[in-house]
Chains A and B, each alone.
Chain A
Amino acid sequence: MKTLLKWFVPLMVLSLLLAACQPAATPTPEKVIETVTVEKEKEVVKTVEVEKPAERAVVRLSGWAASPEETALLQSILLDFTVENPDIVVKYEPITGDYWQQLKTSIASGVEPDVFYMDIFQFPAFVRDEVLLPIDDLMAKEGVKRDDFIPSLIDAFSEGGVTYGIPKDFNTLGLFYNKDLFAQAGIAEPTDDWTWDDLKAAAEALSDPANNIYGLGVPADPGRFPIFVFQNGGSIMTDDYSDTLLDSPAAIEAATFYTDFRKNQSGAIPADVGEGWQGTVFGKGQFAMVYEGGWLIPYLKQQFPNINYGVVTPPAGPKGEGNLIFTVAYVISRNSKNPEAAMRVINYLTGEKAQTKVLESGFALPTRLSLQNSEYLKTNPASSAIFRGALQGARPFVWGLVGSDVNEQMGKALERIYLENQPVDAALKQAAQVIRQKIAEVK
C-alpha cells in the first residue's frame, strides 16, 4: 500500500501539471485567430499613429448589454470596423443596470457618449429637449439612404421631416401557437389570414380551465393590448400625441373583446397560473396561444426545447391588420465632437454586412429592406413571421412625452377590469382622464 502511494502521489501531481499545460501547449484554433486579429489591429493603429496622428477621431458608443453573446458579437463587428477605418477609434462602453437612468444622468452632466441606443418609446422626450443631432446631412455625406430601410422604422425615428436615428433592429408581435394543443383539440392551426372570429373560436376550443390550460394569454400588458385597438381601427394617441384616444368607442370595443377572453375562461393572465410572464406559461403548455415578439424564440429554445410551436402574424380585426413595432436606433448626441466619424460608425453597424451577421446569430431582425429575402428568414419561419409583421399595418410602440404614464394607465385599466371587475368603458375613461392630466403636466 505504502509503495503504491509513494508512486501514486507524484504521478497525480505530474498528470495535473500536464493537464494544466495542455491548453497552452496546443491552443485552440479560435484563439489563434483572435491573436492574429488583435495583432493586425495593433499594427494598423500604430502605423496610422505615426503618419497622421491628428486625424484619429474618438467615437464613444454606448448601449445596454443584453447578453454576453450579443456584446461579443457587437465587439467583433466593431473590430472589423477599426481594421477598415484606422482613422477612427471606437470606444464601446456598454451600460449594465438601468440604462435610461444612467444615460439621462450622463446627459445631465454633459458626458454622454457620441453614439447611443435609442428606444422608440423614449425617443420623443430626447427630440423635444434637443439632445439628438439631426443626421440628414451626415447621411447624405456618408451615402446612407432612407429608402434602404423599412419605412415604418426610419419614419419612427424622424420628426418634422428630420431624421434623428438609424434603426438598428426591431421586433413585432406574432401569434405563437402550441401545435400539440391544437392537434389535441382537433382544430386547424392558425394562418396569416386569421381574423378575430377564428381567434375567439380557437381559444374557446383550446381552453381547459380545470387543467389550467387556457386558449389565449391576455395579460394586462400595454405592450400587447394596443394591437387590438389598431385592428379595430382605433389608436392609443392622436397623431401628434396631444391627446389620448383610449376612451374612444374603437378602443373600448377592443378592450371588451380582449378582456372577454378571461371573462369567458378562454383566456387568462400569467398571474392566474402563477407566473409573471406569459412566455413561460406558453413554454409550459398552459397557454395555447400568446402574442409575443421574436425574443420568445431564443427563450423557448433554451428553456423549453421540446415545445412544438408555430408563429403567424396577428389575426386581423374588423378594420384590418394591426401590430406594434418595438425598435431601437443608433443616434448621435448634439454634443458630439466627431459627428462625421460617429455617422460612419453607425453606417457600418447598420450596414448589410453587419446586419447579416446579427441576423444569422438570431439576436435581432435587420432593418434593411434588402435583407427581407435573406436565406436566414427563408429557413426560419418563426423569425420570418415577426419580420413580416413590420410590413403589415404595424405602428411603433410610442405614446409621446408621457409614454410611461400612458403605459401605466393602460395596464392599470386592464388590471381594474380583471381584478376589480370595473366595467370596461369606466376603466378606460378613468385611464384617459389621468393621461390627459399628465399631458397637461409636462406642457
Chain B
Amino acid sequence: MAEMVSNRPAGLFRRGSNPEKRKKRSEALTAYLFLLPYLFIFLTFTVFSIGYAFYLSFTRYNLLRPPEWWGLEGYRRVLCLEALMPRAEDAPPLTCDDLFIKKALPNTVKYTLIVVPTQTVLSLILAFAMDQKLRFRRLFRTIYYLPSVTSSVVISLIFVWLFSPLGIVNQIFNLNINWLNDPRYAFYTIMILNVFTTSGTLMLIFLAGLQDIPTAIYEAASIDGANKFQVLRYITIPMLRPVVFFVVTVGLIGCFQVFDQIYVMTSGGPLDSTTTVAYLIYKWAFRDTTVKMGQAAALSFILALIILVFTLIQRRIIEGSGSVGSA
C-alpha cells in the first residue's frame, strides 16, 4: 500500500493524505448542501424564534411599544411567586395573574391524566381487534383512522352540534345536559373529542408495533403451553414497551398543548373551565386589549419545562426495568 501511494504524483494528496477522509469530507459537504434549505428554515423559524421568545419572556412587551427589560417579573406574575422579585418594603402590593396556577395548570394536568391513559388503552384495544383476522378489517381500520385525517376545526364544529342541548347525544341518551355551556361538563366533552380524534392514529402505531413482534416468540410460547392471556401479559405487552413509550409521549405532549379544539368550541369558557395552558398563552399574547407578550412567552417556557419533566418521569416509569432500552 505504501508503495502505491508513493508512486502517485507528488502534491496531489498534500492536504488530505488519506483519500478516505477526503471522500468523507466531500460527502459531508454535499450532505450539508442538501440540508441547507431546511437548515435555513429551521434556523430562522425555529432556533431564532425560540431564542427571541426566550428574550421576550424577560421583557414587558405589548407589541405597540418596544419591549422593555423586566427581568423575572413576567415569570413571577405567571407563577404568583413573591420570591422571584426582590422589592422594597414600601412597594405597592404585587399583582399577579392566578389564572395559570388556579385554572390553566390544574385543567391541563387533569386533561392529560384522563385523556392519555384513555386514548392509549382504547387504541391498544382497537389495535388488538384490528390485528385479528376479522371480516372487513380494512374497512374498520379506515373508519377508525378517518377522524385523524379530518381537520380538527371541522370535527370540533361537528361536536358542537352533536353536543348541543337539542343535539343527537342528548336525544339518544334522553338527557338534558348543556354540554358545552355547563362548567361541569364542557371540559369532558372536549376530552371525548380528543380521544375520538387521536385514537385512530395511535391504533395505527400500535398495529405496526404488533406486527413487528416476531412470530417465532409466539410459537415458542405456544409450545411452552402459554394460554392467550399469558401470551398477552408476558409477550405482547413487554414487546410493545417502546411503542407504548412513544404513544404515551406523543399523547402527553399533545395533551399539554391542546389548543385548537378549545379555541373553536369554548374559547376557554364557561367560567375558565376549559382554559388550558396553551389557550392561556394565546389569550395573553393576542386576545387581551393590552397584550402581555412577555408574560405569554414566559408561560411558553414554563410549559416546555413541564412537558420535559413529565416526559422524563414517564420514561422512568415505562422503562423502569431497563429491559427494553431501544426507545
Contacts and interface: CB of A to CB of B under 8 A. Distances in A.
Q: Is B one of A's binding partners?
A: yes
A100 B290 CA distance: 11
A271 B289 contact: no
B183 interface: yes
A100 B286 contact: yes
B271 A416 contact: yes
Contacts of A126: 64
B262 to A, nearest CB: 15
Contacts of A129: 62, 64-65
A108 B272 CA distance: 30
A273 B166 CA distance: 8
Interface in B161-180: 164-167, 178
A308 interface: no
Contacts of A402: 288-290
B64 A108 contact: yes
Given A419-B270, A441-B97, A121 B289 contact: yes
A403 interface: yes
B131 interface: no
A187 interface: no
Given A108-B64, A273-B165, A415 B270 contact: yes
B22 interface: no
Contact of B77 (A100, A105, A108, A441): A441
Contacts of B271: 412, 415-416, 419-420
B290 to A, nearest CB: 5
Contacts of A104: 63-64, 286, 291
Contacts of A124: 289
Interface in A378-407: 401-405
B95 A274 contact: no
A243 to B, nearest CB: 15
B233 interface: no
Interface string B157-200: 00000001111000000000010011100000000000000000
Interface in A128-149: 129, 131
B62 A440 contact: no
B65 A404 contact: no
A187 to B, nearest CB: 28
Nearest to B288: A404
A402 B181 CA distance: 25
Contacts of B182: 419
B287 interface: yes
B174 to A, nearest CB: 16
Contacts of B287: 404
A125 B290 contact: yes
A265 interface: no
A403 B289 contact: yes
Contacts of B71: none
A415 B65 CA distance: 35
A107 interface: yes
Interface residues of B, number: 26
A441 B80 CA distance: 13
Contacts, number: 69
Interface in B134-167: 164-167
B254 interface: no
B42 to A, nearest CB: 21
A126 B287 CA distance: 15
Contact of A271 (B64, B97, B178): B178
Interface in A392-443: 401-405, 411-412, 415-416, 419-420, 437, 440-442
Nearest to A126: B64
Most buried by A among B77, B165, B286, B290: B290
A129 to B, nearest CB: 4
B269 interface: yes
A30 interface: no
A177 B95 CA distance: 45
Contacts of A411: 269
Given A98-B286, A402-B289, A441-B77, A415 B269 contact: yes
Contacts of B77: 441
A107 B63 contact: yes
Nearest to A104: B63
Contact of A274 (B97, B165, B270, B288): B165
A10 B269 CA distance: 63
Contacts of B289: 121-122, 124-125, 401-405
Contacts of B269: 411, 415
B165 A125 contact: no
Interface string B30-58: 00000000000000000000000000000
A98 B287 CA distance: 10
B290 A108 contact: no
A306 interface: no
A271 B183 contact: no
A419 B184 CA distance: 10
B22 to A, nearest CB: 46
Given A404-B288, A442-B290, A274 B164 contact: yes
Contacts of A442: 290
A373 interface: no
Contacts of B290: 125, 401-402, 404, 442
B183 A419 contact: yes
A302 interface: no
A404 B291 CA distance: 10
A102 to B, nearest CB: 10
B214 to A, nearest CB: 51
A405 B64 contact: no
A131 B64 CA distance: 7
A273 B170 CA distance: 13
A211 interface: no
A420 B183 CA distance: 9
Contacts of A419: 181-183, 270-271
Contact of B167 (A101, A131, A274): A274
Interface in A245-274: 271-274
A329 B181 CA distance: 34
Contacts of B62: 125, 129
Interface of A: 98, 100-101, 104-105, 107-108, 121-122, 124-126, 129, 131, 271-274, 401-405, 411-412, 415-416, 419-420, 437, 440-442
8 shortest A-B CB distances, which residue pairs? A129-B64, A274-B165, A271-B181, A403-B289, A104-B63, A274-B166, A108-B63, A404-B289
22 contacts: A104-B64, A105-B63, A124-B289, A125-B64, A125-B289, A125-B290, A129-B64, A131-B64, A271-B165, A273-B165, A273-B166, A274-B164, A274-B178, A401-B289, A401-B290, A404-B289, A411-B269, A412-B272, A415-B269, A419-B271, A440-B92, A441-B95
Given A129-B62, A440-B92, 17 more contacts: A101-B286, A104-B63, A105-B63, A124-B289, A125-B289, A125-B290, A273-B165, A274-B165, A274-B167, A401-B289, A402-B288, A402-B289, A402-B290, A404-B289, A419-B270, A420-B183, A437-B95
